[in-house]
A and B are shown apart, each in its own frame.
Chain A
């Protein structure tokens, strides 16, 4: 089975802190994604990557950056966390046009 893991289930940070969310997949998928999930808004794509060191902006990239130095690892970075970035963050991976496999999510609270 595909396994996608995220570094933390729950995270509490203060405004202005730099925050790293990490995601690791074990199925050699070339595509990896970061979403945020908010009630009533579904999942919104922040960034995705289709290869090592490659990245593309999603629908809501402002305030976020990403890093993909190795194929299995995709990091989401909040350079200076703000309260409006309090959300559930989901990582996913896929191969080609196939379905995406999701991690368990990180609930981030920014105080």
Chain B
């Protein structure tokens, strides 16, 4: 079975500090997308950032950036200058090889707490 692993069920960060959430996945594909989603306590899941695997440059969206290591199949999310509103459950996701390219497989999530 295709898997995506988030090894940190919970993490905490001090406000204004930087935190990195890890994600590893398993695929033999060469061209695919990787995603980080955020689910705040209100439960609406929203996209944080997307990485295209064929691009060597790491994606960046304001305070959010990824460290994409294709050979290591690692896709970590870095949050800089953490804010109280960043507190949420974070999920990484990718399309599994065995399924349709439309599907996504999600990790089990990392609960991020931001301390004032």
Contact = CB atoms under 8 A, between A and B. Distances in A.
Interface of A: 31, 33, 35, 40-45, 48, 50, 56, 58, 88, 90, 92, 94, 96-105
B82 to A, nearest CB: 23
A94 B47 CA distance: 12
A56 B96 CA distance: 15
Interface residues of B, number: 25
Interface of B: 6, 9, 32-33, 35, 37, 42-47, 50, 91, 95, 100-109
A97 B33 contact: yes
A42 B43 contact: no
Contact of A56 (B35, B50, B100, B106): B100
Nearest to A103: B44
Q: Chain A's interface: helix, strand, loop or mixed, by majority?
A: strand
A44 B8 CA distance: 19
B2 to A, nearest CB: 10
A42 B109 contact: yes
A111 B47 CA distance: 33
A15 to B, nearest CB: 25
Given A88-B43, A90-B45, A104-B43, A42 B102 contact: no
B106 A96 contact: no
A42 B93 CA distance: 10
